[in-house]
Structure 1
Amino acid sequence: MSRPLTIGVIADTHGLLREEAIAALRSCDRLIHAGDIGKPEILTTLAALAPLDVIRGNNDETLPWAADLPDVLDLELEGVRIHLLHDRKQLAFDPAARGVKVVIAGHSHKPLIETRNAVLYLNPGSAGPRRFSLPISVAYLRLDDGRAEAELVTLG
């Protein structure tokens, strides 16, 4: 029996990659950054830890170095279809109807794990500068034989 694929999910760093976030993601098999990166060095650091998939967020749109990053991304890993976008409110299709099992979005800075219509919605929260009283967090997405489960990790 193989072990699950562990994907570290981070979003809304806004130019700040905390040591606690790096430590939390270090053991992951793969990483996803769900936008509002802020600085290209963040992607360089994350890519040194594990293979990295990334989308740009609304705050990245005017940054020249982020021009070639996609706004949305579809992945299929371990038999699980995953759709990435920065702002869940911009999801323009029914994920279940397209066979998507996981939707990952950031933007709100509010950590969330929610299942609706057999689709797992994951927002890792913000790992960057604190906003209001929201926690600093990342998430783990574990994929195993077509199944997905998520866990939020509060960093501060």
Structure 2
Amino acid sequence: MKIIVISDTHLPKKARTLPAPLVEALSGADLIIHAGDWSDWSVYELLSQYAPVEGVAGNTDPSEIGEKLGFSRIVEAEGMRLGLVHGHRGTKGTEQNAIQTFADEQLDAVVYGHSHIPVMHTVDNLLVFNPGSPTDRRFQKRYSFGIMTVSEGKLQAEHVFFDRD
């Protein structure tokens, strides 16, 4: 199973369309996960043309998105349990807020956004993953998104980095 992981698209403010490297990856997706800050519901509809979409609302999203998606959820993908949250709610840093959201859950990964900083490491056998942003790199050198694969009961993740097309 191929899962495209994105966050912080901020469309149409930060870009008018999805960047070409992301669109290319979406064409082979089995599932798309969006960790918030869509900025407009049309992004959900656009992504849904490629594969099923699971997502949560972020701090810049209109209330409509929060009402439809909520601010955290657990996504199950071929036996893997992925905690999905934006990471802006809480009193700690973004990553700690994300992990704390699912403190009482048994998960294989926590996926979050908000900081626009690509992150991938493990904490107590939990994959902690932030895809960065495909449209607003802020102080990062390159734009990014993530690809997770589930095969034979194992979850693997990677970042895809690219320059503006």
Helix, strand or coil at the partner of 1:50: coil
The CA distance in 2 between the partners of 1:23 and 1:65, in whole Å, is: 29
Instruction: Summarize deviations over 1:27-78 as a string: whole Å, max 9, x none.
Output: 1111011101112221111000000001011111xx1431322100102211
* Structure 2 residue aligned with 1:107: 114
* Structure 2 residue aligned with 1:155: 162
Which of 118, 124, 145 is the equivalent residue of 1:117? 124
The CA distance in 2 between the partners of 1:67 and 1:101, in whole Å, is: 25
**CA apart distance, 1:93:** 5.3
Helix, strand or coil at the partner of 1:98: coil
- 1:31–1:94: structure 2 CA closer, same or farther, 3 Å change rule? closer
**CA apart distance, 1:140:** 0.4
**CA apart distance, 1:19:** 3.1
Q: Report whether the alignment pairs 1:131 with 2:138.
A: yes
The CA distance in 2 between the partners of 1:44 and 1:94, in whole Å, is: 28
- 1:94–1:39: structure 2 CA closer, same or farther, 3 Å change rule? closer
* Structure 2 residue aligned with 1:49: 50
Instruction: Summarize deviations over 1:107-145 as a string: whole Å, max 9, x none.
Output: 111111101211111111011233124421111011123
Instruction: Verify the 8 A CA contact 2:116 2:136 in the aligned structure 1.
Output: no
| TM-score with structure 2 setting the length | 0.82
Structure 1 gaps of 5+ residues are none
The CA distance in 2 between the partners of 1:89 and 1:55, in whole Å, is: 17
Helix, strand or coil at the partner of 1:83: strand
Amino acid at match of 2:111: I
* Structure 2 residue aligned with 1:6: 2
Q: Report whether the alignment pairs 1:146 with 2:147.
A: no
The CA distance in 2 between the partners of 1:119 and 1:130, in whole Å, is: 25
The CA distance in 1 between the partners of 2:53 and 2:115, in whole Å, is: 22
The CA distance in 2 between the partners of 1:77 and 1:6, in whole Å, is: 10
CA RMSD of aligned residues (A): 1.7
| TM-score with structure 1 setting the length | 0.87
* Structure 1 residue aligned with 2:41: 40
Structure 2 gaps of 5+ residues are 88-94
- 1:146–1:66: structure 2 CA closer, same or farther, 3 Å change rule? same
- 1:8–1:35: structure 2 CA closer, same or farther, 3 Å change rule? same
Percent pairwise identity: 32
Aligned length: 149
**CA apart distance, 1:103:** 0.5
Helix, strand or coil at the partner of 1:7: strand
